Amino acid sequence: MLGDVITMCRRSRPLVHCINNYVTANDCANMLLACGGSAIMADDADEVAEVTAMCSGLVINMGTPNPRKLTAMRIAGEQANALGHPVVLDPVGVGSSKMRMDAAHDLIKNVKFAVIRGNATEIATLVRGTAAHRGVDADEGAHTAPNIAKALAKETGAVVIVSGDTDIVTNGETVFGVHNGHPMMRLVTGAGCQLSALLGAYVTACPCDVLRASLAAVAAMGLCGEIAHGRLTELDGNATFRNYTIDAMMNLTPEALDKGARYERF
Amino acid sequence: MLGDVITMCRRSRPLVHCINNYVTANDCANMLLACGGSAIMADDADEVAEVTAMCSGLVINMGTPNPRKLTAMRIAGEQANALGHPVVLDPVGVGSSKMRMDAAHDLIKNVKFAVIRGNATEIATLVRGTAAHRGVDADEGAHTAPNIAKALAKETGAVVIVSGDTDIVTNGETVFGVHNGHPMMRLVTGAGCQLSALLGAYVTACPCDVLRASLAAVAAMGLCGEIAHGRLTELDGNATFRNYTIDAMMNLTPEALDKGARYERF
Amino acid sequence: MLGDVITMCRRSRPLVHCINNYVTANDCANMLLACGGSAIMADDADEVAEVTAMCSGLVINMGTPNPRKLTAMRIAGEQANALGHPVVLDPVGVGSSKMRMDAAHDLIKNVKFAVIRGNATEIATLVRGTAAHRGVDADEGAHTAPNIAKALAKETGAVVIVSGDTDIVTNGETVFGVHNGHPMMRLVTGAGCQLSALLGAYVTACPCDVLRASLAAVAAMGLCGEIAHGRLTELDGNATFRNYTIDAMMNLTPEALDKGARYERF
């Protein structure tokens, strides 16, 4: 059951090294605390190998990149691989520039990822190596999501997640569609980044079943969005919704996830 | 009517490239989502020309500067000019250092801005090229605001906004004083940054009438502060107020802005 | 009485230069505004000497470090010393890497700190010059906190604060244990960073009695956590708790602090 992943995460309290963009770093750190883990954020080549070694998992979020941080991502990823720590990649806005594209391809070539999560455009960009891209939004091309997700999963060996109206989770063979979530999550900056952070905690807590841990994270995040939306008054908006989503993760029980998760095998 | 600007922004959903300080980046991104736009944040010279090109507008916020980011600002600004995208400048704390002063003057010399927004001290600093400055607060020298705003508008061709008790909006000829807002906005870090982000969305959505779009943004931001303050209980403070201000922007209707905007022509 | 520190801070409205990590910078800036001060954030070697000079106090927070920022910390610290401004050090995750350790030792050797605040592991690391470290959490080794705090205070001349179940505040001779606070503060990223920012405001407002100002900050922060927790509904979690803590600081009166502070002399 997916709820077991919550239990394992709260029991093992995974410490996750996050190389994160500065826009969503605070929310990602609070999301990790909410789910039972914790974050240490470090992004410089001079220290990331040590920081990775002191943690049990790694999340590489490519937002607000610069050459210094990109170098650190590669070092941290290789260190995590050497130590057998699961690594999550969030290729934020990968189609936005040659720098991000080259860095993402370099990372995928040299680092083995346990999970790669993005929106349909980002994942399609990684598969095709080219893109017609419109920023970091989650609303385009979702209809092809299962196929591009499977293609990238087969190519990389990672569990691939495509966020959208229906979230896709696949290891290249089995494909799940997750129906949890609420459209208002698109109005929160970094909702996807927060999911990637959560994935870092769950796959670190359950490294032996990355597919199930990923499915649990996607369903849990969506369910928390639903719970958060249910609390809103008509005066509330995206800022309060953001807070309530994190709040909901702190209060989410294994039973609530098992009862509330809505997914199917495609 | 100012409310039309809201309609146009929600209809065109402008994607705005933001080069932002890391203190207020999250709030600025959520404010952009609240108003109907969205942000992509990128600040490195190696990618900003591409990111600017994929967006329709640019906001340059000079907080937490460093040489790498300042180089990117110049490149992005010139790219936006070449493509005809409106550019907003927020000269955060420009009087604080020679580095910020030199960078601001370099930007103003080489980039054509649609809007420049700051507090009275910041705008006066840009006009005079010298300053007695006290950080990033909004409370000093407001009585001279119309004159300094007009001077900078004439010098640069930009619509200039001076935030204060009465916000000044001018294109160098017409001068508006906006009476919306609440003193508690001074207790939210980056309230000004959020307004600059909002200006980015509105002038991108209405590039043909930058003065009206600017007036709408200033009135809308102030009105959202009023709405947010009206919701506070006696236990609430500046953090809840910050959230409610963003919430209010998400829920602001054209009719509410037209009804609630309080401004006069000086 | 400790409440006087609140009065002095609200009266003098200290402007504090913060060199802060990007994860918690927004919360730190809002905490400073909540307590009656304000922040200017700047972290580049090219401008920090000027920014420090325009402020009245300095907080050096070592999270998300890189060589550029570490250079700026040293410059700013020496400038603050030259001008007689109080300086607060928060050695975030100092045991996480050689880079942070070397930088912390370099800072302590070359900059005179008014206050050094960390968790037990961080402070022990500074004392021992070596560490078994687990990230940035506050829950380990607290039982030895008074001794390590006294040792570091004697070595550096700073008031040393060890955050934990019982917070320790000492100048090397007098040792206070502060019992305010709530365990939920551990689920807010940067609760410690926020306290360090608050310390910056209070010791800048009361430079003649750093021990008392520090005690007031520690008790006030803990009390605000208690007040925040008292407001939570069963659906609320760590995000709302974070907001309520900052809210509580804005509303905290001298009388409430005097009444609610719970500390003893060891």
Q: How far is residue C27 from each of residues A239, A257, C34, measured CA to CA in Å? A: 15, 31, 10
pLDDT tens for residues B85-135?
Answer: 999 999 999 999 999 999 999 999 999 999 999 999 999 999 976 444 444
Alpha helices in chain C, H assignment, sequence order:
3-12, 25-35, 48-54, 67-83, 98-110, 120-128, 145-156, 191-205, 210-231, 238-251, 254-260
Residue type, B45: A
DSSP bridge pairs for A170: A160, A175
User: What distance in Å separates the CA atoms of residue B40 and residue A136, rounded to the nearest whole number?
Assistant: 7
Cα separation, B250 vs B33, in Å, equals 8
Residue of C nearest to A232 (CA): C235
Q: Does C189 touch chain B (CB under 8 A)?
A: no
Whether B46 sits inside 8 A of A97 (CB atoms) is yes
- 3-state per-residue secondary structure call for C184-251: HHHHCCCHHHHHHHHHHHHHHHCCCCHHHHHHHHHHHHHHHHHHHHHHCCCCCCHHHHHHHHHHHHHH
Q: pLDDT tens digits for B63-85?
A: 999 999 999 999 999 999 999 99
Average pLDDT for residues A207-232, to the nearest whole number? 98
pLDDT band at A142 (very low <50, low <70, confident <90, very high): very low
pLDDT in tens, B209-231: 999 999 999 999 999 999 999 99
**What local confidence, expressed as pLDDT, does residue A129 receive?**
62
Inform me whether the C-beta atom of residue C22 falls under 8 Å from chain A C-beta atoms: yes
C interface test, pick of B26, B27, B97, B121 with most C CB neighbours within 10 Å: B97
Q: Name every residue whose Cβ is closer than 8 Å to that of residue C16 and which is 6 or more positions away in sequence.
A: C32, C37, C38, C39, C40, C55, C56, C57, C58, C59, C197, C200, C201, C204
Q: Give residue C139's pLDDT.
A: 47
Region C241-262: mean pLDDT is 98
Please tell me the distance from the alpha carbon of residue A62 to that of residue A66, in angstroms, as a whole number: 9
Question: Is-contact B164 B253, C-beta < 8 A?
Answer: no
Identify from C26, C41, C99, C121 which residue to disrupt to test chain A contact, counting A C-beta atoms within 10 A and taking the largest count. C99
The model carries a pTM of: 0.95
Nearest to C247 by CA among B218, A243, A77: A243
Q: What is the DSSP string of B58-108?
A: EEEE-SS--HHHHHHHHHHHHHHHHHT--EEEE-TTGGG-HHHHHHHHHHH
The predicted model gives B2-7 an average pLDDT of 98
C193 touches chain B (CB under 8 A): no
3-state secondary structure of C147: helix
pLDDT at B140 over 70: no
Q: Give the pLDDT confidence of B171-219 residue by residue, as tens digits.
A: 999 999 999 999 999 999 999 999 999 999 999 999 999 999 999 999 9
What is the set of domains in chain B, with CATH numbers? 3-265 (3.40.1190.20)
Closest CA to B216 of B178, B266, B265, B172: B178
DSSP collapsed to 3 states, B98-163: HHHHHHHHHHHHHCCCCEEEEEHHHHHHHHHCCCCCCCCCCCCCHHHHHHHHHHHHHHHCCEEEEE
User: 74-103 in B: which are within 8 Å (CB) of A?
Assistant: none
Task: Please give, rounded to a whole number of angstroms, the shortest distance from the CA of A113 to a CA of chain C.
Answer: 23
Scored b (16 or more CB within 10 A) or e, C114-130 reads: bbbbbbbbbbbbbbeee
Chains contacting chain A through 3 or more C-beta pairs under 8 A:
B, C
Instruction: Tell me which chain A residues have a C-beta less than 8 angstroms from the C-beta of B34.
Output: 187, 237-239
User: Are A216 and A257 contacting, i.e. CB atoms less than 8 angstroms apart?
Assistant: yes
Nearest to C98 among A40, A50, A231 (CB): A50
Residue bearing the bigger pLDDT, C143 or B64: B64
Does the pLDDT of residue C138 top 70, yes or no?
A: no
Q: What is the pLDDT of residues A152-181, one digit of tens each?
A: 999 999 999 999 999 999 999 999 999 999
pLDDT band at B144 (very low <50, low <70, confident <90, very high): confident
Are the Cβ atoms of B98 and C50 closer than 8 angstroms?
yes
Q: Which residues contact C120 (CB under 8 A, 6 or more apart)?
A: C138, C140, C141, C142, C144, C145, C148, C162, C163, C164
Interchain CB distance below 8 Å, A97 and B243: no
Q: What is the ipTM of this complex?
A: 0.94
Instruction: Tell me which amino acid residue A98 is.
Output: K
pLDDT score recorded for residue B264: 97
The torsion defined by the Cα of B181, B183, B186 and B192, in degrees rounded to 10, comes to: 10
Q: Which residues of B touch C251 (CB under 8 A)?
A: 234-235, 237
Helix intervals (H) in A84-119: 98-110
Write down the pLDDT at residue B103.
98
Does the beta-carbon distance from A239 to B30 stay under 8 Å?
A: yes
- The pLDDT-based confidence of C129 (bands split at 50, 70, 90) is low
Residue C128 confidence (pLDDT) above 80: no
Q: SS3 of B218, please? A: helix
Residue A13 pLDDT exceeds 50: yes
**Containing H/E element for B242?**
helix B238-251
Residues of C in contact with B236 (CB under 8 A): 247
Spatial distance between the Cα atoms of C59 and C73, rounded to a whole number of angstroms: 9
Digit-coded pLDDT (tens) for C74-95: 999 999 999 999 999 999 999 9
Nearest to B50 among A64, A97, A236 (CB): A97
Which position has the higher pLDDT, C107 or B141? Answer: C107
Dist. CA C25–CA C94, nearest whole Å: 18
| Residue C133: pLDDT band with limits 50, 70, 90 | very low
- Chain position carrying tokens 């700013």: C76
